[in-house]
Amino acid sequence: MIKINKIKIPEVDLYSPEGTHLGLLNEYEFLDARCQIKESQLWGYYAMFEGSKILIDRNGTFKEYPIGMFDQLANLYMRIL
């Protein structure tokens, strides 16, 4: 028999260049925001994850991908493979 695990969807806080909190975003919402940043070539946006500030460049990417941020799905796929 299997055990059904309730899995909390990870979220990050997104901020504007002025420091205005734009919301608590899940992985899909955060990816959409990053696409918008890239499409409009915006800069200065950042996310906060577990106390770390993640700067998002105008291409919607960041230098370092924090360990544990939105890696749950990849980890589950690795288990099944």
Can you give the pLDDT at residue 48? 96
Nearby residues of 73 by Cβ (< 8 Å), 6 or more positions away: 27
Can you give the pLDDT at residue 67? 85
pLDDT at 63 over 90: no
For 12-58, write each residue's pLDDT tens digit.
Answer: 999 999 999 999 999 999 999 999 999 999 999 999 999 999 999 99
Can you give the pLDDT at residue 68? 86
Structure tokens at 25: 């975003």
Domain borders along the chain are 11-80
Can you give the pLDDT at residue 79? 94
Can you give the pLDDT at residue 65? 82
Can you give the pLDDT at residue 35? 98
